[in-house]
């Protein structure tokens, strides 16, 4: 069983479209995250949720809207996609929020905006 799974793995779309990436974890963790990895492989945290409550919201355009229906799921919706949104988006989870718990990552969703 995959611990952190995200779908789709690949997403190719046109500028201006709206798309969603879904994430689910079966580890029983109470915290989930979205990270963005750009073409230079730099990792930046975008959002974190602890028990469905938004904890971290980094400087991310409001076109990005996370939604956590329950603590096992954290989805990312992106409106009006731009070329600069092309990246790999990683979902992660941990027990506790950014403390001693390691992060468990999904395999990533590669978004390409044309």
Partner 1 sequence: AQSVTQPDIHITVSEGASLELRCNYSYGATPYLFWYVQSPGQGLQLLLKYFSGDTLVQGIKGFEAEFKRSQSSFNLRKPSVHWSDAAEYFCQGTNAGKSTFGDGTTLTVKP
Residues lying near partner 1 in the complex (CB under 8 A): 4, 40-45, 55, 90, 92, 97-100, 102-108
Q: Looking at beta carbons only, is 5 or 20 nearer to partner 1? A: 5
Tokens 């905006």 — which residue?
113
- Closest approach, Cβ 16 to partner 1, in A, equals 28
Q: Coil, strand, or helix at residue 5?
A: strand
Q: Looking at beta carbons only, is 14 or 28 nearer to partner 1? A: 28
Q: Looking at beta carbons only, is 38 or 82 nearer to partner 1? A: 38
- Closest approach, Cβ 73 to partner 1, in A, equals 17
Of 93, 64, 60, the closest CA to residue 79 belongs to 64
- Closest approach, Cβ 103 to partner 1, in A, equals 7
CB distance 29 to 68 below 8 Å: no
Question: Which tokens in the block code for residue 111?
Answer: 């978004």
Angstrom distance (rounded) from CA 100 to CA 103: 9
């Amino acid at each position: 069983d995959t611990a952190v799974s995200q779908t789709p793995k690949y997403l190719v779309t046109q500028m201006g479209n709206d798309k969603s990436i879904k994430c689910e974890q079966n580890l029983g963790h109470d915290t989930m995250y979205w990270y963005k990895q750009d073409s230079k492989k730099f990792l930046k945290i975008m959002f974190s949720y602890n028990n469905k409550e938004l904890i971290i919201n980094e400087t991310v355009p409001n076109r990005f809207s996370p939604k956590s229906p329950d603590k096992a799921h954290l989805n990312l919706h992106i409106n009006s996609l731009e070329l600069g949104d092309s990246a790999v988006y990683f979902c992660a989870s941990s027990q506790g929020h950014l403390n001693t718990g390691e992060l468990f990552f999904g395999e990533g969703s590669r978004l390409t905006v044309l």
